[in-house]
Amino acid sequence: MKTGIYYLMTILLFVFFLVLHSAIICGQENKILSPVLIDTDAAIDDLRAVSMFLAVNELNILAITTSDGILSPEEGGIKVNQMLCSFERNNIPVAVGRRVEKDYPRHREKCKKVPWGDCSNNMIKTAPDAHVLLTDNIKQSDVPVVLVCLGPLTNIYDAISMSPEIKKNIKKIIWYNRFLDYTSGFNYQRDEHAAEFIINSDLEIIILSNLDKQNACLDLEFLKLVEEVNTRYAQTIASAHRTPFFFEKLKNGCLPVYDDLLIVYYLYAELFNIKFDVRNPSVHYNVEYQLAVVKEKIINILSGNYVINKNIVFERFPLNPDLYRSDIKENMNEIVEKHGTLEWEFCVLTNEIHGHLGIYSIIGAKMGLMAMETLNANRDELKVKSYAGNVPPLGCINDGLQVSTGATFGHGTISLVNDTVLIPSVIFIHENDTITIRLKEKYREQIQKDINDGIVKYGMLTDGYWKLIRSLGIQYWKEWSRNEIFEVTR
């Protein structure tokens, strides 16, 4: 009976692969997450949002800055450092911004009592002013960054007004402001001058609002769901909401969903209906969102059960080892740990589509992912020119390239360069940026030597030969890092 079940699961998985193959040829939304800079005014909804951003392991958070809003920048700096210490993320630098000349909000004293972590060290780490830290990180990033703004836009204004050249390395700004009319709301009114400057800066800005939906709030029932999640991110949020003032609000009604929306939008933009301002096309704002699904995603993020890579046919890629053949199963954990789930997915799909577990097809999948990471591009955004030809084994690179990048012959976004010398080299084009990635010669020589030795031992295209190719493919897949085996030139 057990054997029959595994056999059925294998057949279903194979069908999934066939359907997914068709989906890939028509396009798929696998995402390369842009590096993020977070600016917060340390309200309790900020605590939830920052916790969730930190819960996404694949996300590179370059720095966190604090602005003058619900808490002062200095008080916010203490809270953020408590959280980073508690989460063992002290490698993320923190800096405080300048104060604004306005009375502090009425809930400031209540928010000062909210615990952000259990570390006793309340000292703010030595760091430059917020605008300096922002400017330095934006300038030094190899790819455009996303600015996530949970409060007033003071620090972003200071950074851009003092160093306007950084605008070219800002991909977008994601900002929460409560009302659909983005010229009102606390985060706008706290520093109207900064907000107007950023809104009219020609930078792409996504303004999210909870639209004052009547049920857009967190209640005791939702708090219980959070408390049931056994992660430090969820438990930090649960503990904060047991603070007497906020717990009373939960018992007598609910707390609105505010900045929580930003992390959900960042990972699942398809849940939001976004329009642009016809008067200012660089400004985008949401007019609707799927609230029930947003709440579901919040729990998923806190539990580590989130999905970054959007598959076409099913919600998440199969990571159950029992679904894989024995030689793959015994290497799976090490491969995923070394190279990540996205490379795992691309290589698995490549092997299924390729018809056997090949060497150069895996090289192509690794190469395509390397290109997307280097160019900060998502799937279906690259044009690809391959020098590998269409004759095996070198031509097998092209199968891996199509799966990983989404550039396909059907789309006309991948082409073969007519050249008499075939080499494992590929040109990738994204917008105005072009790179060439080539397999380093020592790795190509190693492949050739290992294959030649196998031909001498087993003969050409025999059962022994194909077993060797499979074994070598798994070995290279596991041992060769995409960050080491390629030469990348611009």
Return the percentage of the chain with pLDDT > 90, whole number.
67
Please name the residue that has the structure tokens 């990738």.
428
pLDDT attached to residue 23: 36
Calculate mean pLDDT across residues 12-41: 57
Q: Report the candidate in 78, 57, 77, 167 with the shortest Cα–Cα distance to residue 122.
A: 78
Encode pLDDT of 34-63 as tens digits: 899 999 999 999 999 999 999 998 899 999
**Torsion 471-473-478-484 (CA) sign:** positive
Give the three-state DSSP class for 475: helix
Q: In the numeric block, which tokens belong to residue 189? A: 């009114």
Q: What is the pTM of this model?
A: 0.71
By CB atoms closer than 10 A (0-12, 13-18, 19+), residue 425 is buried
Q: Give the number of other CB atoms < 10 A from CB of residue 177.
A: 25
Domain boundaries, the chain: 2-29+322-489, 36-303
pLDDT attached to residue 179: 66
Q: Give the number of other CB atoms < 10 A from CB of residue 397.
A: 30
Q: What is the DSSP string of 164-197?
A: GGGGGGEEEEEEE-SSSSTTSSHHHHTTHHHHHH
Encode pLDDT of 98-135 as tens digits: 999 888 888 899 999 999 998 765 555 556 699 999 99
Distance CA 470, CA 324 (A): 14
Distance CA 300, CA 309 (A): 14
List 332's β-bridge partners, or say none.
Answer: none
Distance CA 288, CA 295 (A): 15
Could you give the C-alpha distances from 8 to 14, 99, 316, 352, in angstroms and in order? 10, 63, 19, 17
**Torsion 42-47-48-49 (CA) sign:** positive
Residue 283 has pLDDT above 50, yes or no: yes
**What CATH number is given for 2-29+322-489 in this structure?**
3.30.1330.130
Could you give the C-alpha distances from 106 to 71, 176, 179, 260, 354, in angstroms and in order? 10, 20, 19, 21, 63
By CB atoms closer than 10 A (0-12, 13-18, 19+), residue 88 is exposed
**What CATH number is given for 36-303 in this structure?**
3.90.245.10
Alpha helices in 68-202 (DSSP H): 73-86, 108-112, 130-140, 154-162, 186-189, 192-199
